[in-house]
Chains A and B, each alone.
Chain A
Amino acid sequence: MTEVVIKDVDFGYSEDHIVLHDINLVIDEPGLYCIIGPNGVGKSTMVKCVSKIVTPLKGQVLLDGEDVAKMKHKDVAKKVGFVPAFSQDAFSMSVINTILIGRYNHQKWGSREKDLEMVYKTMKLLHIENLGMRNYNALSAGQHQKVSIARGLVQEPAILILDEPTANLDVKYQVYVMEMLRAIAVERQMIIMTICHDLNITSKYAHKVIMLARPGKIHAVGAPEDVLTEDNIREVYGINCRIFTDEETKKPYVILGSAIMGMAEDY
């Protein structure tokens, strides 16, 4: 059973530029967790603390009770997979080799048959099995995204973090990827955390929503219908909206109204 605990975490790139304030969060059951919030609120920074890409100034991140700060990068990597928001490799390899990088902690020199098979299955799952020998940099933005997601999936971590996995994808693949991530989380009993900007997609697919507000604190955590409320959205994003409940899914549906200018967040 995997568990992530974020305890009293402050993070800043310098003492006078604090990004995250006193973050407390417990994730102790599998599922798809969507992290939402306005630009620059520290969503990426928060997930980077979990995968030890950055280290908090104060507080602790615990993976199954173990302090990430005291773990080796390699040991964190065995538990947490991270798919960055944007990646363009200066000198790129073929798609198969790029995805095989995700098997780095599992493979010895050369690539075993088993790794190749897993890579192929994952490519098929994402409908990119025809791109195998193409050069990664020669792909479209949406294809890049799918290759990155595949790289995260073949890593087989207990916790998979994706920084905006649906950016650059068209509507169909936004829905497809989120549907798939939700299904994988359930099927493989994984914790999957994604940063998301689309409130309705979040509402439809997230098991839980983590809403961050300025200046880098957690505003609300819970089921979509509890977090995606008119009040929360107005306070956090500075926009008016109306919320309906979808008859079929019983999930909240957000209809955006107008932006409220001159609020405290415009600094």
Chain B
Amino acid sequence: MGDSKYSETVDNYKRSIRLKLIFIIACIIAIVVVVSYAVTVGAVDIGFFEVYAIIIDHITGNITSDYDYIVFDMRLPRVVAGIIAGAGLAICGVIMQSVLKNPLADPYTTGVSSGASFGATMAMTLGMSALLGDSSVVILAFVFSLVPTFIIAMMSKFANASPTTVVMAGIGVMYLFNAMTTVMMLWANSSDLNRIFYWQVGSLALIKGWESIPIMFAVVLVGLIISMILSGKLNVLATGDDSAKALGINADRMRIFTLVLTGVVSAAIVSYTGLIGFVGLVTPHIVRMFIGADNRYLIPASALFGAALMLIADVIGRVVIYPSALPVGVVMAFIGGPFFLWMVIRRSNKAW
């Protein structure tokens, strides 16, 4: 088309895509920088650039540094877990907000957190470690965190799978599980209560070492790939159920499938890290402000931004009252809370 207005439109459109890609690259750079800084924090002084040198040496099998053990086995698992957890919770948040058409939805909207909490509390109070070993908390948290999602998925077969049904069912299930958790906590002794409390706030300090990583990594990676494949469909679903059906997408089935997907991904994360809040809620909003609501870009960008945010929050938590540390969940709430308030005020322009 020789229309100059047309080429201008296409140029603008392409520029908007370039800006999205730039945002994604900026997030990757931020992660690379923060990883290095995060590994330097601790009792032993390790230089900023030394960190990557040690990592590269380790990977190439040419271990020269005395700090290899500290970097690779003590500090890096926590950092890697932070990246995985941040990325995973952020994509769950994007998907939940999109399919439930609700800016308040997060990875826990379907009650994942209440189920996980119940499982972890059960493991810690009822002496399950005799039965399931050291991993009892992780195992029970994982199993029970899936329960609310499946209850909602089953319920939607009898009612419907509209966003309102799902959100309300999620609230119902959450109260039920919280009540059961409370009962167990009433019976618990004070040292167990301490552990439960610490777990419910969520912390990357709960990551014990590399053995915590593989399952979480595999689940989040698969979740990320599936949600990238579905991202175009999510865009169609976001235009409303009727128009999605008219474009050939079974809206109800799609919503239930994505709920189960996010349920499994967030369960795999929180069972290792405890309930880390806010990253799943706030990340999608921040990223949307930069690159818009197109899920094809929003999902990968949120995964990266969530990872960076999680790492930064964890570093702040470890530095701000050094040598003691604040759990990442608390730092995230301190960052996320005021941000959320600011966003509510900003919402007056109705751009989202």
Residues on A lying within 8 angstroms of B by beta carbon are: 48, 51-53, 72-78, 80-84, 87, 89-94, 96-98, 101-102, 104-105, 109, 113, 116-117, 120-121, 129, 132-133, 135, 137-138, 151, 155
Contact = CB atoms under 8 A, between A and B. Distances in A.
B350 A91 contact: no
Nearest to B243: A84
A81 B246 contact: yes
B5 A89 contact: no
A91 B6 contact: no
A53 B293 CA distance: 25
6 contacts: A73-B250, A101-B235, A109-B296, A113-B10, A135-B351, A137-B350
B194 interface: no
B236 interface: yes
A52 B16 CA distance: 35
B75 interface: no
Interface stretch (B76-84, B96-104, B133-141, B212-220): B96-104
Nearest to A108: B232
A129 B5 contact: yes
B101 to A, nearest CB: 4
B232 A90 contact: no
Interface string B278-296: 0000000000100011101
A91 B96 CA distance: 12
B111 to A, nearest CB: 21
Interface string B1-20: 10101100110110010000
Given A53-B242, A74-B248, A109 B232 contact: yes
A76 B245 CA distance: 9
B248 A89 contact: no
B294 A117 contact: no
A98 B293 CA distance: 10
Given A89-B238, A93-B293, A82 B249 contact: no
Interface in B275-316: 288, 292-294, 296
B239 A98 contact: yes
A54 B178 CA distance: 38
Interface in B219-245: 232, 235-236, 238-240, 242-243, 245
Contacts of A91: 97-98, 101, 103, 238, 288, 293, 352
A120 B9 contact: yes
B29 interface: no
Given A92-B352, A137-B350, A76 B248 contact: yes
Nearest to A163: B242
B232 to A, nearest CB: 7
Nearest to B100: A90
Contact of B248 (A48, A77, A84): A77
B343 interface: no
A146 to B, nearest CB: 15
B293 A73 contact: no
B155 interface: no
A73 B98 contact: no
6 tightest CB-CB pairs across the interface, nearest first? A77-B248, A82-B246, A74-B248, A91-B293, A90-B101, A73-B248
B9 A101 contact: no
Nearest to A77: B248
A82 B238 contact: no
A73 B241 CA distance: 13
B21 interface: no
